């Protein structure tokens, strides 16, 4: 089977390599010439554990190559970005999907399979892509098999989860579903779940929306605890000992290409039916401002002049900064002329990021931890001796106890402003 994977990003590249390492002939298509050249030279352009080894294996087998242009294939997998539009409900921008499908049409032959892996708004497969194929003269379900198979993997564990996670096969017809199952049956060991395309689209969006809503509840709890002087993390730990409770963890906001994006696709499709989803988005979007306000107040209390940010990726142990709330926090802090800002992140290389932890914290009054990288879980007190004042605001609750270092987290926020804040009294 010859497979063309369009889009060699965080999902497209691992998917392409996985098919190649299971005996399929794969061409990976990307618009970025530098990425194509890097891959053909044997070097991955994204950070993902195990992916470099898998790429080397795929290239040595001769089953994978990257290129700029499409060619005839048996299967076309679309794995391109679907960002938010700048409209009232931040709806799904299908520009890249439509462009990718348009470019496949001249190469389509009867019996080909088109699979949309990109996260898309409900009914996109049926209302947008199917008409494109029909206009080109194909009968979907007979000539061409159209399927939506959303990715459901966790960055940092993509190689394992591509194989072992269940996979939703959302087809427009039973024949489309069967064609999709034959493709993913090459390597997927999890269940191949049969579904309509619309149900597959909405299921993926709701999986991420579920998490976004529950994180919003945890973030709201952190604010409640701050106001009432109650440790929110302690509350969460105790509540989760209940057999039917699983509260999520609060943090500096929600980022990434899924949780901070996907809920809006549902909202845009049916605004009047999504007040809870919209409120959850608003709560999570408020967290960067909330964190910065806590930092500003604390720095004023201690007469601080320098803040060091630890971590700018949207989650730990990856180099992905898409939709990262940490970036927004850095930007907000840099607008404050009252103090200096330095940034340390061992997973991101950029001119504005200090590659050395001890240099980044030198003469700093406060370290603000915004990402849960593994490196932060093993820091020592010695590494912070260069600070002018040894305070850490750990929004991800990952820093170990350190001698002579004051550590604040999302549970004991109220302790950051003991001198300047009065707790809310109990209402009579």
Annotated catalytic residues are 204, 258
Lookup: tokens for 366: 């406060």
Percentages of the chain per state (helix, strand, coil), in multiples of 5: 40, 15, 45
Q: In what order do the strands lie in the sheet with 145-148?
A: 64-67, 25-29, 2-6, 75-78, 113-116, 145-148, 167-171, 192-196
- Gap between the Cα atoms of 50 and 231, Å rounded: 39
Q: What are phi and psi of 177, to 5 degrees?
A: -60, -45
Lookup: tokens for 175: 């024949």
Work out the number of other CB atoms within 10 angstroms of the CB of residue 273. 10
Q: Are the beta carbons of 246 and 73 closer than 8 angstroms? A: no
- What separation in angstroms does the CA of 385 have from each of 57, 196, 346, 371, 381? 45, 59, 19, 22, 7
Q: Are the beta carbons of 173 and 198 closer than 8 angstroms? A: no
Lookup: tokens for 258: 């899924």
Lookup: tokens for 305: 């002049």
Q: What is the DSSP string of 85-149?
A: -SSTT--B--HHHHHHHHHHGGG--TT-EEEE-S---TTHIIIIIHHHHHHTT--BTTTBEEEE-
Burial letters for 316-326: b for 16+ Cβ neighbours within 10 Å, e otherwise?
Answer: bbbbbbbbbbb
Q: Are the beta carbons of 221 and 235 closer than 8 angstroms? A: yes
Cα–Cα–Cα angle for 295, 298, 304, nearest 5°? 95
| First vs last C-alpha separation in the chain | 73
Phi-psi map region of 62: left, alpha, beta (phi>0 left; psi -120 to 50 alpha)? left
Q: Are the beta carbons of 339 and 388 closer than 8 angstroms? A: no
The three-class DSSP label of residue 263 is helix
Contacts of 264 (CB under 8 A, 6+ apart): 84, 89, 90, 91, 92, 281
């Amino acid at each position: 089977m010859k497979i063309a994977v369009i889009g060699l990003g965080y999902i497209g590249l691992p998917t392409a390599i996985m098919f190649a390492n299971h005996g399929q002939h794969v061409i990976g298509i990307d618009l970025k010439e530098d990425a194509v050249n890097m891959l053909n030279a044997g070097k991955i352009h994204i950070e993902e554990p195990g992916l470099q080894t898998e790429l080397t294996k795929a290239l040595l087998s001769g089953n994978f190559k990257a290129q700029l242009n499409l060619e005839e294939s048996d299967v076309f997998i679309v794995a391109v970005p679907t960002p938010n539009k700048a409209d009232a409900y931040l709806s799904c921008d299908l520009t890249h999907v439509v462009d990718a499908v348009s470019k496949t049409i001249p190469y389509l032959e009867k019996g080909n399979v088109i699979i949309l892996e990109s996260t898309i708004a409900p009914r996109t497969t049926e209302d947008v892509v199917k008409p494109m194929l029909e206009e080109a003269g194909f009968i979907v379900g007979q000539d061409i098999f159209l399927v939506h198979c959303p990715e459901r993997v966790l960055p940092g564990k993509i190689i394992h989860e591509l194989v072992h996670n269940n996979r939703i096969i959302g087809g427009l017809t039973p024949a489309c579903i069967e064609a999709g199952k034959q493709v993913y049956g090459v390597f997927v060991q999890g269940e191949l779940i049969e579904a309509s395309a619309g149900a597959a689209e909405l299921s993926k969006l709701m999986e991420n929306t579920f998490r976004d809503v529950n994180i919003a509840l945890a973030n709201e709890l952190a604010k409640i605890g701050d106001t009432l002087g109650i440790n929110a993390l302690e509350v969460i730990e105790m509540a989760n000992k209940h057999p039917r409770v699983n509260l999520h963890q609060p943090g500096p906001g929600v980022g990434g290409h899924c949780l901070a994006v996907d809920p809006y696709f549902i909202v845009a499709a049916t605004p009047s039916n999504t007040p809870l989803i919209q409120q959850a988005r608003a709560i999570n979007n408020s967290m960067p401002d909330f964190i910065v306000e806590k930092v500003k107040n604390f720095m004023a209390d201690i007469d601080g002049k320098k803040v060091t940010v630890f971590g700018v990726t949207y989650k730990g142990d990856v180099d992905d900064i898409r939709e990262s709330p940490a970036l927004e926090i850095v930007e907000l802090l840099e607008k404050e002329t009252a103090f200096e800002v330095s940034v340390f992140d061992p997973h991101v290389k950029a001119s504005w990021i200090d590659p050395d932890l001890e240099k980044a914290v030198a003469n700093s009054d406060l370290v603000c931890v915004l990402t849960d990288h593994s490196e932060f879980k093993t820091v020592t007190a010695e590494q912070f001796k260069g600070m002018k004042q040894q305070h850490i605001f750990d929004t991800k609750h990952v820093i170990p106890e350190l001698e002579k270092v004051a550590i604040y987290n999302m549970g004991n926020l109220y302790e950051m402003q003991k001198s300047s804040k009065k707790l809310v009294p109990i209402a009579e």
